[in-house]
Amino acid sequence: MDRKHRIPYLILSVLLLAAAAGGYAYREFHRTKPAGAQLKAERTMTAAALIAAFAKDEPTATAAHAGHVLAVEGLLKETDRTDSARPVIVLTDGSTTTSLRFLLDSTFRADLEGLVPGTPLRMKGVCTGFQPDDMGLGADILFDRSVILTPQTAK
């Protein structure tokens, strides 16, 4: 193929590449976060193990868990419905004052009335980090976009 015939192919290739890059950029720019229920748990832990990890070495535990999707088993301490649109499920390990606060996903609906404090509960959510007890309110490990895994109370 001579140079004259190569030019249209080159232009077409450049245009295709530009269109592909533009499409990728558009898709990335408009990408939304998946709902909490669609997130896949990267690891499963007990509340006691997670609390112990943060108590032992907070920076290491933050690096290991913050920003990751965890499934956690613990005992229900309470439900905080200060924000009626997005209630918080609070788990405990039953022995320390540190709590795990799961802010429910905005798309998740559950029958919170059926939850009895002290009963085992399995939650899933994105860990946002550790809030130390520097205000006298007790330490918390926080989760966002959370859903209840078991018992199955989703409506």
In the complex, the residues that contact another protein under the rule CB under 8 A are: 28-33, 62-63, 66-67, 80, 82-83, 86, 88, 101, 103, 128-131, 134-137, 140, 142, 144
Please identify, using beta-carbon distances, which residue of 3 and 31 lies nearer to another protein. 31
End-to-end CA distance of the chain: 66
Kindly state the smallest distance separating residue 95's Cβ from another protein, in Å. 21
Kindly state the smallest distance separating residue 135's Cβ from another protein, in Å. 5
Neighbours of 80 (CB within 10 A): 14
Please identify, using beta-carbon distances, which residue of 10 and 83 lies nearer to another protein. 83
Please identify, using beta-carbon distances, which residue of 97 and 150 lies nearer to another protein. 97
Question: Cβ contacts of residue 148 below 8 Å, gap of 6+?
Answer: 89, 104, 108, 110, 121, 122, 123, 154
- Looking up tokens 């709902």, which residue turns up? 35
